[in-house]
């Protein structure tokens, strides 16, 4: 019988704590209330400016949810879940904006008399 010990590599899982959840909750509330105020208070003159600012808040809100509630970071599972998420986001970006670019160019080139 050998002196063999099973050395399992246990990765430390993300730790969920009450303070972490409260930080995430409060950040989510603020990231929801500020865009609501921007729209209801008619803060910006341009609707497109308001939409872009709200889009920025939405991206930050997604990141807050991923970090504080889904516990996704570059350390969990060796960073593979975050890497796969980034890969998915890049593919989504290419697909979405590539489709919009193609549709816009088709519209401009196919309907010149309509513009």
SS3 content of the chain, % helix, strand, coil (to 5): 75, 0, 25
Higher local confidence (pLDDT), 9 or 39: 39
Place of tokens 């670019």: 101
Let me know whether 98 and 85 are in one domain: yes
Average predicted confidence (pLDDT) for the chain: 84
- Gap between the Cα atoms of 85 and 91, Å rounded: 10
Q: Give the domain extent around 113.
A: 74-115
Question: What is the per-residue pLDDT for 19?
Answer: 92
Let me know whether 21 and 51 are in one domain: yes
Q: Which residues of 84-107 are buried (b: 16+ CB within 10 A; e: fewer)?
A: eeeeeeeeeeeeeeeeeeeeeeee
Let me know whether 66 and 78 are in one domain: no
Let me know whether 47 and 84 are in one domain: no
Q: What is the DSSP letter of 15?
A: P
Residue 2 has pLDDT above 90, yes or no: no
Question: What is the per-residue pLDDT for 73?
Answer: 77
Residue 62 has pLDDT above 60, yes or no: yes
Let me know whether 101 and 115 are in one domain: yes
């Amino acid at each position: 019988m050998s002196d063999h010990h099973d050395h399992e590599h246990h990765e430390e899982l993300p730790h969920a704590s009450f303070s972490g959840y409260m930080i995430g909750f409060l950040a989510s509330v603020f990231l929801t209330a500020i865009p609501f105020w921007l729209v209801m208070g008619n803060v910006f003159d341009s609707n497109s400016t308001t939409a872009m600012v709200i889009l920025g808040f939405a991206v930050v809100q997604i990141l807050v949810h991923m970090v504080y509630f889904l516990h996704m970071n570059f350390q969990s599972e060796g960073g593979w879940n975050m890497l796969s998420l980034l890969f998915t986001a890049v593919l989504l970006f290419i697909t979405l904006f590539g489709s919009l670019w193609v549709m816009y160019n088709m519209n401009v080139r196919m309907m010149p008399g309509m513009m």
